[in-house]
Chains A and B, each alone.
Chain A
Amino acid sequence: MSAAPLLSVEDLHVEFSTHGGTVQAVRGVNFAVDAGRTLAIVGESGCGKSVSVQSVMGLIPIPPGRISAGSARLRGVEILGNNLIDGRDVRGAEIGMIFQDPMTSLNPTMTIGAQIAEPLRVHRGYGAGRAREEAIRLLDSCRIPEARKRAGQYPFEFSGGMLQRAMIAMAISCKPALLIADEPTTALDVTIQSQILDLMRELQGETGMAIILITHDLGVVARMADEVAVMYAGKIVEHGSVDDIFYRSAHPYTCGLRSAMPVNDRSRHAELKPIEGRPPDLFAPPPGCGYAPRCPHAMQLCGREHPPEFAIGPGRTRPDPAHYSRCWLHHELNRQRPPELHFRE
Chain B
Amino acid sequence: MRFTLLMWPGGGMAWYVCKRLLQGVLTVWFIATATFFAMHNVPGDPLLNDRAMTPAIRANLEARYGLDQPLLNQYLIYLGNLARGDFGISFTQENRQVNDIIREHFPVSATLGILAVVFAAAGGVLWGALTALYRNRLPDYLIMFLVILGISVPSFVVAALSQLGLVSLNNLTGRSLLPVAGWGSVYHMLAPALVLGLSTMAYLTRLMRSSMLEIIDSDFVRTARSKGVPPALIFSRHQLRNAILPVVTVLGPQIAVITTGGFVVELVFAIPGLGRFFVEAVQQLDYTVIMGTTVFYGAFLVFMVIVVDLLYGVIDPRVRLQ
| Interface positions of A (Cβ within 8 A of B) | 57-59, 61, 83, 89-93, 96-97, 99, 101, 104-111, 118-119, 122-123, 154, 156, 167, 170-171
Using A61-B217, A104-B219 as known contacts, say yes or no to A109 and B230 having CB atoms under 8 A apart. Answer: no
Give the distance in Å from the alpha carbon of A156 to the alpha carbon of B319 in the complex: 11
Using A106-B220, A108-B220 as known contacts, say yes or no to A123 and B317 having CB atoms under 8 A apart. Answer: no
Segment 212-258 of B: residues with Cβ below 8 Å from A: 217-220, 222-230, 233, 237-238, 241-242
Q: Are A122 and B230 neighbours in the complex by a CB distance under 8 Å?
A: yes
Q: Are B226 and A109 neighbours in the complex by a CB distance under 8 Å?
A: no
Number of interface residues of B (CB under 8 A): 22
Q: Are B227 and A99 neighbours in the complex by a CB distance under 8 Å?
A: no
Q: How many A-B residue pairs have CB under 8 A?
A: 76
Give the distance in Å from the alpha carbon of A57 to the alpha carbon of B227 in the complex: 10
Q: Are A110 and B219 neighbours in the complex by a CB distance under 8 Å?
A: no
- Tell yes or no: B315 within 8 A of A by CB: yes
Q: Are A91 and B225 neighbours in the complex by a CB distance under 8 Å?
A: yes
- Tell yes or no: B318 within 8 A of A by CB: yes
A-B pairs with beta carbons under 8 Å apart, 23 shown:
A59-B226, A92-B228, A96-B226, A99-B219, A99-B222, A99-B223, A104-B218, A105-B220, A106-B223, A107-B224, A108-B317, A108-B318, A109-B316, A110-B238, A118-B224, A118-B227, A118-B229, A119-B227, A119-B229, A122-B229, A122-B230, A154-B317, A171-B226
Given contact pairs A58-B225, A92-B229, A105-B222, a sample of 9 additional A-B residue pairs in the complex whose CB atoms are under 8 Å apart? A89-B230, A92-B228, A99-B223, A107-B238, A108-B317, A118-B224, A122-B228, A156-B318, A167-B223
Give the distance in Å from the alpha carbon of A111 to the alpha carbon of B318 in the complex: 11
| Interface positions of B (Cβ within 8 A of A) | 217-220, 222-230, 233, 237-238, 241-242, 315-318
Residues from chain B with a CB closer than 8 A to the CB of A118 are: 224, 227, 229
Q: Are B228 and A109 neighbours in the complex by a CB distance under 8 Å?
A: no
Using A61-B217, A105-B219, A105-B223 as known contacts, say yes or no to A110 and B237 having CB atoms under 8 A apart. Answer: yes
**Consensus secondary structure, chain B interface:** helix
Residues from chain A with a CB closer than 8 A to the CB of B318 are: 108, 154, 156
Give the distance in Å from the alpha carbon of A156 to the alpha carbon of B222 in the complex: 18
Residues from chain B with a CB closer than 8 A to the CB of A107 are: 220, 223-224, 237-238, 242
Report the 9 A-B pairs with minimum CB-CB distance, sorted nearest first. A92-B228, A89-B228, A92-B227, A91-B228, A97-B226, A104-B219, A105-B219, A107-B220, A154-B317
B236 to chain A, nearest CB (A): 12
Residue of B nearest to A91 (CB): B228
Give the distance in Å from the alpha carbon of A130 to the alpha carbon of B223 in the complex: 22
Give the distance in Å from the alpha carbon of A26 to the alpha carbon of B217 in the complex: 21
Residues from chain A with a CB closer than 8 A to the CB of B218 are: 104
Give the distance in Å from the alpha carbon of A107 to the alpha carbon of B229 in the complex: 13
Q: Are A119 and B228 neighbours in the complex by a CB distance under 8 Å?
A: yes
Contact of B226 among A57, A101, A110, A154 (CB under 8 A): A57
Residues from chain B with a CB closer than 8 A to the CB of A156 are: 317-318
Residue of B nearest to A119 (CB): B227
Residues from chain A with a CB closer than 8 A to the CB of B315 are: 109
Using A108-B242, A109-B317, A154-B317 as known contacts, say yes or no to A92 and B219 having CB atoms under 8 A apart. Answer: no
A59, A109, A110, A111: residue with the most chain B Cβ atoms closer than 10 Å: A109
Residues from chain B with a CB closer than 8 A to the CB of A59 are: 222, 225-226
Give the distance in Å from the alpha carbon of A89 to the alpha carbon of B225 in the complex: 10
Give the distance in Å from the alpha carbon of A54 to the alpha carbon of B218 in the complex: 14
